[in-house]
Amino acid sequence: MSLNLQINGRAITGIDSFYAEINRVFMADEEWALGPSLDALDDLLYGGYGALQGHATATVTWRDAELSRAVLGMDATRAWLQVKLQQPGTFNADVIRRQLDALERGEGQTYFEIVMEVFAGHPRITLRLE
């Protein structure tokens, strides 16, 4: 049976609130929540827990996606990458610097675009942007 879920783009004002919305939609019946991590989002979308558990397919409608695209755009992505640079030994600083440089040149991915790529890696989930 297919599952229908809705992300409220108006509730997303940055990366932390994006994960709060993901937890509201996907993790409401769990006793734990996802942290702000693209890897955690990717793991969630495999469907072993949360709302996706037990469902072969799902349709996720992202309402007001253009608002989310804007707030998860250049500024949020830059800030996210800069925080990573402040954690030496945790992240590869050279890679992060290259990502920042690409972003500044208009060639790098924004956080929203990375999230779209994560969803695209899960063909059993249909993502509709509205």
Clarify whether residues 49 and 100 are in a common domain.
no
Residue range 64-86: average pLDDT?
A: 97
pLDDT at res. 88: 77
Rounded CA separation 89/87 (Å): 6
Number of structural domains, the chain?
A: 2
Task: Please give the residue range of the domain that contains residue 68.
Answer: 2-72+111-129
Clarify whether residues 105 and 118 are in a common domain.
no
Clarify whether residues 15 and 59 are in a common domain.
yes
Residues 6+ apart with CB under 8 A from 121: 42, 45
Clarify whether residues 63 and 6 are in a common domain.
yes
pLDDT at res. 89: 85
Clarify whether residues 91 and 124 are in a common domain.
no
The CATH number covering residue 38 comes to: 3.30.370.10
| Residue range 11-53, pLDDT digits in tens | 999 999 999 999 999 999 999 999 999 999 999 999 989 999 9
Clarify whether residues 89 and 62 are in a common domain.
no
Clarify whether residues 92 and 31 are in a common domain.
no
- Structural element, H or E, at residue 125: strand 125-129
A 10 A CB-CB count for 52 gives 22
Clarify whether residues 82 and 44 are in a common domain.
no
pTM, full prediction: 0.94
